């Protein structure tokens, strides 16, 4: 605290002197105005906070979509189907780009692009078996890291070759996971250029191969 | 002030939480005293009127926060007023002014000493001006506002023994320099 100045004054304050300053209604009015202002300010701050929160959510959503798109651009989902134990000794890795994957009320339709474009039409269940030469055999659920993945087994009869049957194991999430044929090379999906998905695919393929003879017909 | 009166004023304050009109009774009762307290520390009627109005407005705005601590409601008003005065001087960045009523000083002096002359009073004021503002605040509340040490401690946010110590030191130095016989209670 600084210096102090002390004065002596003759003037004495009396209730009559102070009457001009005593104004309770004015004080109440000021109080009400202040209260209204505070309430309005509080509403404004809450609204602002809520708006900011909603905007943040929108931006976060947009950012996530953009990031996903960016990631998709950098790492387009490509399926590598690996040829296993070919009877004609044609073991090789082929790059098959998954160009489209869709589903209607009767079929899973999946298209790969390799040297040429191949489209597969897999029936959703056995009631649509008569629609194509691809037959729905069975469907199984596999639980990996707490999430269920459906794998459907199909049999495709090639009319050109007698007794040629190829079994396809299809995942609505990842496409064709594994094929098994007596005539042609077996194929296994080994990567879609995505670390986490690749681990799931690896586990699914392992499960298919392990249970193939037990669970799938 | 009796315990019953203190309780009854607290009850009024309690009621004014729901109905601000109730606060009017306390406003009317303490307006003059709070005005006088502020005026003594500002020496400006308009400033005192503004700060008094602000004091009661703050009290009304914070009536929900008031908790009874064994001191009268008026002590709470004095505390707010004291803070308002300090804020005013912080903002103004000027020396603090105490304007003491001549008749009160004269009364205090005459109670303690038979001889009254202007020169002695001027010397006394000059001496008081050299006292720290904290001591003057305690003297102001003790001898011009008739507050007990419990209330002074509450108003200035210090301990009761701290308030007594400040008053004792200020009075001791006045006694030594001016042969005053004022006691803690302001009596000779």
Token pair 């990567």: residue: A191
Predicted local confidence at residue B171, as pLDDT:
82
Nearest CA in chain A to B63: A31
For the ranges A32-46, A82-96, B88-102, B139-153, the lowest mean pLDDT is seen at A82-96
SS3 A148: strand
Average pLDDT, chain B: 84
Which CATH number among 3.90.25.10, 3.40.1190.20, 1.10.1740.10, 3.30.2010.10 corresponds to the domain B3-92? 1.10.1740.10
pLDDT (tens digit per residue) in A61-117: 999 899 878 766 655 556 665 555 444 444 567 777 888 888 888 899 888 887 788
Q: Is the pLDDT of residue B129 over 60?
A: yes
Distance, in angstroms, between B68 CA and closest chain A CA?
23
Better-scored residue on pLDDT, B180 or A145: A145
Predicted local confidence at residue A45, as pLDDT:
96
Q: Is the pLDDT of residue B105 over 80?
A: no
Cross-strand pairs, B163: none
Question: Class of the B102-178 domain?
Answer: mainly alpha
Token pair 């509080």: residue: A42
A187 contact partners, CB below 8 Å, separation of at least 6: A81, A82, A83, A84, A176, A178, A179
Is the CB of residue A41 less than 8 Å away from at least one CB of chain B? no
Domains B3-92 and B102-178 agree in fold:
no
Better-scored residue on pLDDT, B46 or B171: B46
CA–CA distance, A110 with A103 (Å, rounded to integer): 8
**Contact (Cβ atoms closer than 8 angstroms) between residue B16 and residue B63:** yes
Q: What is the mean pLDDT of residues B164-186?
A: 73
Return the structure tokens found at A23: 């104004």
**Which secondary structure element, helix H or strand E, spans residue A83, and what is its range?**
strand A78-84
Q: Is the pLDDT of residue A4 over 90?
A: no
Nearest CA in chain B to A3: B95
Contact A2 B95 (CB under 8 A): yes
Predicted local confidence at residue A7, as pLDDT:
83
Q: pTM of the prediction?
A: 0.59
Q: Is the pLDDT of residue B25 over 70?
A: yes
**Contact (Cβ atoms closer than 8 angstroms) between residue A8 and residue B105:** yes
Q: Is the pLDDT of residue B101 over 60?
A: yes
Predicted local confidence at residue A17, as pLDDT:
83
Predicted local confidence at residue B136, as pLDDT:
85
CB neighbours of residue B125 within 10 Å: 16
CA–CA distance, B141 with B98 (Å, rounded to integer): 12
pLDDT (tens digit per residue) in A177-191: 888 877 777 788 877
Q: Look up residue B75 and give its DSSP letter.
A: H
Q: Where are the domains of chain B?
A: 3-92, 102-178
For the ranges A21-30, A96-105, B78-87, B107-116, the lowest mean pLDDT is seen at B107-116
Predicted local confidence at residue A57, as pLDDT:
95
Better-scored residue on pLDDT, A106 or B102: A106
CA–CA distance, B147 with B2 (Å, rounded to integer): 14
Contact B35 A18 (CB under 8 A): yes
Average pLDDT, chain A: 82
**Contact (Cβ atoms closer than 8 angstroms) between residue A172 and residue A103:** yes
**CA atoms within a 13 Å half-sphere pointing along the CA-CB vector of A53:** 6
Better-scored residue on pLDDT, A209 or A108: A108
Predicted local confidence at residue B81, as pLDDT:
95
Q: Where are the domains of chain A?
A: 14-74, 78-211
Contact A30 B95 (CB under 8 A): no
How confident is residue A40, by pLDDT bands cut at 50, 70 and 90?
very high
Predicted local confidence at residue B146, as pLDDT:
85
CB neighbours of residue B172 within 10 Å: 10
CA–CA distance, A38 with A11 (Å, rounded to integer): 40
Contact A31 B49 (CB under 8 A): no
SS3 B56: helix
Q: Is the pLDDT of residue A44 over 90?
A: yes
SS3 A183: coil
- Percent of chain B residues past pLDDT 90, beyond the cut: 36
Q: Look up residue A188 and give its DSSP letter.
A: E
Is the CB of residue A31 less than 8 Å away from at least one CB of chain B? yes
CA–CA distance, B63 with B59 (Å, rounded to integer): 6
Predicted local confidence at residue B186, as pLDDT:
47
Contact B36 A13 (CB under 8 A): yes
SS (H, E, C) A96-137: EEEEEEEECCCEEEEEEECCCEEEEEEECCHHHHHHCCEEEE
Better-scored residue on pLDDT, B173 or A61: A61
Predicted local confidence at residue A192, as pLDDT:
79
Q: What is the mean pLDDT of residues A20-26?
A: 91
Q: Is the pLDDT of residue B47 over 70?
A: yes
Contact A7 B43 (CB under 8 A): yes
SS3 B35: helix
Predicted local confidence at residue A118, as pLDDT:
85
Across the interface, which of A5, A9, A15 has its CB nearest the CB of B95? A5
């Amino acid at each position: 605290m600084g210096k102090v100045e002390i004065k002596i004054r003759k003037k004495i304050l009396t209730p009559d002197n102070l009457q001009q300053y005593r104004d309770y209604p004015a004080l109440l009015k000021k109080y009400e105005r202040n209260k209204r202002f505070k309430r309005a300010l509080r509403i404004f701050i809450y609204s602002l906070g809520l708006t900011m929160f909603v905007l943040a959510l929108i931006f976060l959503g947009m950012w996530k979509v953009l990031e996903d798109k960016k990631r998709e651009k950098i790492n387009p989902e490509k399926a590598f189907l690996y040829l296993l134990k070919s009877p004609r000794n044609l073991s090789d890795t082929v790059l098959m780009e998954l160009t489209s994957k869709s589903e209607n009320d009767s079929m899973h339709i999946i298209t790969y692009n390799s040297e040429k474009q191949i489209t597969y039409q897999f029936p959703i269940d056995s009631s649509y078996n008569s629609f194509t030469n691809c037959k729905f055999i069975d469907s199984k659920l596999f639980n990996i890291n707490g999430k269920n993945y459906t794998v459907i087994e199909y049999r495709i009869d090639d009319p050109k070759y007698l007794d040629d049957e190829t079994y396809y194991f299809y995942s609505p999430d990842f496409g064709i996971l594994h094929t098994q044929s007596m005539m042609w090379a077996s194929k296994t999906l080994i990567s879609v250029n995505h670390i986490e998905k690749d681990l799931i695919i690896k586990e699914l393929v392992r499960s298919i191969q392990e249970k193939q003879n037990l669970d799938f017909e | 002030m009796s315990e019953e009166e203190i309780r009854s004023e607290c009850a009024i304050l309690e009621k004014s939480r729901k109905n601000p009109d109730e606060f009017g009774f306390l406003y009317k009762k303490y307006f003059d005293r709070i005005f006088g307290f502020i005026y003594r520390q500002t020496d400006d009627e308009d400033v005192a009127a503004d700060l008094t109005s602000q004091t009661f407005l703050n009290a009304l705005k914070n009536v929900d926060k008031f908790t009874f601590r064994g001191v009268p409601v008026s002590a709470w008003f004095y505390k707010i007023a004291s803070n308002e005065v300090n804020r005013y001087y912080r903002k103004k960045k000027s020396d603090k002014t105490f304007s003491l009523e001549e008749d009160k000083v004269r009364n205090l002096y005459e109670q303690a000493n038979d001889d009254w002359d202007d020169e002695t009073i001027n010397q006394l004021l000059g001496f008081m001006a050299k006292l720290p503002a904290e001591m003057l605040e305690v003297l102001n509340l003790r001898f011009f506002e008739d507050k007990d040490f419990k209330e002074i401690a509450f108003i200035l946010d210090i301990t009761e023994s701290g308030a007594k110590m400040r008053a004792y030191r200020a009075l001791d130095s006045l006694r030594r320099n001016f042969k005053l016989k004022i006691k803690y209670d302001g009596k000779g």
